Structure 1
Amino acid sequence: MTADATTTARTAPTVGELLRHWRAERRVSQLELALRAGSSARHLSFVETGRARPGEDLLSRLAEQLDLPIRERNTLFVAAGYAPAYPQTPLDAEEMAALGETLDDLLRAHEPNPALVVDGSYDVVAANRGVRFLLGELPPALATTPLNAIRLTLHPEGLAPRIRNLPEWRAHFLHRVERHLSLGAHPRLRAIHEEVLSYPVPETEERPRTPRSRTPRPRTPHPYALPLRIEAGGRELTFLSTATTFNTPLDVTVSELAVETFLPADRETAEALREALGPAWPD
């Protein structure tokens, strides 16, 4: 065994350490988790301290009760000495062809509204014409494969200069990314997050509120959700965004896909999209 391999073996968390970590994240006691999983607090204590090895059935129940993402369930199984419980199939694999066609059809159905599919690192898997319209011409530094939605949105040469409520939207977007990071280890996502934090934030009239501020939030036409206000095609457009994921996914790759849609928040935006894109894909 090489020195690097030895270091990796020593620093990789044990199954007990992982269970303690996730219990702390979910704020659940040993007794409560043991009861939910059909075990005993004593046995769970032995597992967490390394005095007992959990069976695969118990691990599955513990992961279910802790509501672990599929990727983290695999990490738990591997730490206990078992094979991963779920496959991780590349999107370009033959068995994923039908999924790819379905996602393309879904994105087309959203037109002319912008819609895209991102993976667990916010890399763009697919996008429709509405997204291309919002992006416009990208500088070479950003037009690399894979395109990353975080970088495209917040980079000073990307969409950021055209987002009219950038401080609020940036704070919202980064908070969402940080929530994803808290769910597990995503090295690429973490690296992109750190990169984006280094971007300069342009000074605007709209500043994010601080926790201590008692100034009432300005009233907007959309008090129920934060809109994205962005300049595109020479007009200011306003969108409300949604994110959709698969129910009960059985593959790590599929579990981390999200369909992001941007719905017109007013009639002017809807009309601008129809005028710019029309009803069908170009030849």
Structure 2
Amino acid sequence: MDVDTVAAPGSVPALAAAFRNPAVAVASGNVTIRNAARNPLTALQSLEYLQSIALGRGFLDHLGSVGCCSGAFSMFRRAPFLAAGGLNVGPGEDLEITLRLREAGHRTRFIGSAMAATLAPTTLPRLIRQRLRWDRDALAIRLFAYRQILPFRRGESLGSTLERLDFLLFDLAATLVFPFYLLHVALRFGEAFTPLMAGVLLLLSGIATANLLLVHLALRRLPTLPELAVIPAFALYQGIVLRFLRFFAFSDELLFAGSHRDAFVPPRIRRALYGRDGT
């Protein structure tokens, strides 16, 4: 668990119940935002976590495709964890250990009923630093450490194939194409670009609202007033702001290995991993 994460009563036993299946090596809980009412930015992150974790990972769990068990709230089976070598000292250690255990043939689970709440960044600069770190680390681990660029790999499970394709198509490819696609649409439609984009964002807001209502129904949780207030801006936040942040992070990692310079990793660890100059 992260130091700023608090588990709900009964959540640790709920997470431990996943290990009744001997094939399971790691199980991740459902993480929400506990300072959602702080300001509109934290409320947006609360909606994002509900959609991407509660709904997204819940769907991936049914496919056997949970690719990252969050370091904020996860549980490991001791024997395979130690046999795999434990946590990596480098960045993105929760994603890396999850992929390493999957590569070793173990199952990963998401347990939606195991609830925990964490603190979200309260300012835009802090959010930007967090997301750049997450996205650079994800790309470095998946592409360079685990060579996940190929669409199919011999011997892997269907769940692992679907999990990789989800990243390659909907995260990597879609993100790198996105700014150029926007430019193409702007040039193609001219003055109609602004109302067109407004219509698209309105449609995406409707889809996001329906998804969030499904999540709240599944969790038997009523949306808070701060969450309701920012729903109209959610599509802009997720579809534009976060997408451009991810584009910058991916570009920085591909061109300049930006994760090697991330100050989140202590200097002595960076020197040990990448050499004296961080490369």
- Fold shared per TM-score above 0.5: no
Indicate the TM-score class for this superposition, using the shorter chain for normalisation.
Answer: under 0.3
TM-score, normalisation: structure 1: 0.25
Name the structure with the higher helix share. Answer: 2
TM-score, normalisation: structure 2: 0.25
Greater relative contact order (Cα 8 A, min sep 6): structure 1 or 2? 2
